[in-house]
Structure 1
Amino acid sequence: MIEVGGSMGLAAYASHPERSRGRRFPEPEAPTRTAFQRDRDRIIHSTAFRRLVYKTQVFLNHEGDLFRTRLTHSLEVAQLGRSIARSLRLNEDLVEAIALAHDLGHTPFGHAGQDALHTCMKALTPVGTTVDAGSDGGWGFEHNLQSLRVVDKLEERYPAFDGLNLTFETREGILKHCSRANAQRLHAQDASGVAQRFLQGGSPSLEAQLCNLADEIAYNAHDIDDGVRSGLLTLEQLDEVPLFEQYHRQALSAHPQLGGRRLLFESIRLMLSDQVYDVIDTTRERIEVSGVDSVDAVRARGPLVAFSVDMGARSQVLKGFLLRNLYRHPQVMETTDRARRVVTELFAFYMQQPTELPDAHARSEHLARAVADYIAGMTDRFAIREHERLSGASLFP
């Protein structure tokens, strides 16, 4: 037996693996890994994790070899999260597990696919009715809730239980957002308390809070890179954004002859570094002022991991710029319109012809949920091929 020193160097307010609230199905502890290291390893070996390499971030997978996918995005979130966690003496392994799992439930085609699937599911619920947790429709579709569903139910790897049987702390971090109605249904099904904060207030662990912010930092930075690489954004446009312009100017001041992609990379690197240091300094100060000395004390308070007021405001301006100029660019919108049609028509077809579903889904007691699970698990390219097979229409030649 090798002793596992999981809490060495952790702050009192961090998540200590030996104090975990446990797994839904009790298991013996691993001799060489902490509970959160074991979670991370299970996530990496899951089928859903491998699928992320062919799921859209902004640009469809076939549009270019170097654009980010959900997999590379998750890796970047994990890297940023671990770097910040180390400075704050938080649990790096828990941060990594949450970061790697946070998008496991994302549909093909990014937010376009998610929106289409949500519309399909909500359309099955009559206005003004209350739908129980197991019924068709009712829940709509939330990708964070679907990520939890993947690790709790849909992964099929172990003989004794469905899902990956992750710790409460990892599951808590995966459920980043949840509507109150869905939280009520989830809480009725699962008494572990993973949805409790959406009903009673409070916050998740600092590690979960950190992953939320690392997610934002990562996608703002890499979407700038992908936007310029695609030709949809220019450095001249980006210089209208105060947050980017500051670091672009710094890069040119230090390296007057720098140009092209090296200049872009250096500007993004400086921006990322400053944001990371800002989060570390601001969060450390907020923790000290709050006086929290345990993870339970953290959960009883409002969020503590944050940007400074100035950095938060400038980050919001950047997000607004990317929304207007990249995510709603006509070229991107034209692609996302086709993506919505693929998801919507696949949903309608499987609802009418459930025999086209794989056996495990076709046997489900709740057809709409089974269809949503199947479509959400598809990669971009599989969804395109399946739509073409079933409809005869080639929307992405």
Structure 2
Amino acid sequence: MNNYRIYFTSRTINDIGDTLQEIAIIYIMALYTQSAIIAGIIISLNALVRIACSFFAIKTKTNSNVKILLRNMDLVYGGITLLFFLIYKINGSDMNYWVLIIYEVICSYIYTYYKIYQDVIIKDICSSNEQIARLFALDNIISVLVSLISSLLIILLKIEIFLLLNAFSFFISSIIINRLNIQNNTFKNKNIETKIFKKIVDFRYNYPFVFRIIITSSILSFFYATYNVVFQNALKIFSISANSIGILTGVYDVFVIILSYIVGFLRIKDTKKVICIFLLLVLIGLLITPFFQGVVFIVIITIVYSIIGGGYNSFCQIIFQNYVNAYDIPTLKGIYNIFCGISIMVSGYASPLLLRKVSLTFFCIIMAAVVGFLIIYNILNNLRPNEPPVRYK
């Protein structure tokens, strides 16, 4: 079994465990009378933890074996989840909700670093863009399939079994990932600079094209984070039957899966043009939505969001893998998480207020103007000299 298959298997098991945990946490949260407040606290703390961890990821000087790092994080993640399972098994719905909050914050801490070093190891185990895209498509497929299957399993199994399965998924993943055979597996961060601002400035100087993508993505994240708010508003405005929600959600899932895999086969040499093409598709979708109503409006807006989530975001990850050296990936992911995380947090507060003041049509026009600005921003910067050649042809 080669390295890619080993990692693919490990990632599959991890994805299954992550989805089961997400479902279990939502279920447990719903047991508390203060579920809305608890959910808000968890979302806010998770966002703060990930942003804080991203600052440390930029600053930290690391000289470690990435395979060992991932294996150890799997073991810690599994151990903490097993402990949480035992606490919930003993106390049930009487468990103090702060235990749930603390567990989620710890998981968020581990998850942030785990995702960063996953991206580092992808540099070693992937030999083509198609293999990278297949990993992102896998994440989306597992999320959809496990969620659907869990709808049945939650009737047959107790919710704590989901936590137990999640714990064992990490233990199994640690065993599998330990089988990776990578010659240059030691991650050496050559950038000895530890001042965060200076490292961000250096990264912008060394990878100007990648930094522009981060800026573009952070602005686009504000709009992408509004999906649920826009979706719910559209359902109410157009009086869409609840029976249609599953179908409409399915449209989004299908497009995200297909687009996240297709981007791995794009053979256009100038990646800068591909970014502009994705943005142009989003702009066209936003401009035509005001001419439609009801289900058609929601289908179009759903496709627009899936172009961002499945096409644009996946292609950006492929670009990161192609352009950025392994020892600079923690800095890259740190900057990316901070910029996009802040944008998403602002969107979470601002978008509901904005949609109370303006119509959906006007909201789409505002977002179209923002995307139009991003297209002009990228086109003007594309006139500059080309970046160094990409890793994969």
Scaled to the shorter chain, the TM-score interval is under 0.3
Alignment TM-score, normalising by the size of structure 2: 0.26
By percentage of residues, which structure has more helix? 2
Alignment TM-score, normalising by the size of structure 1: 0.26
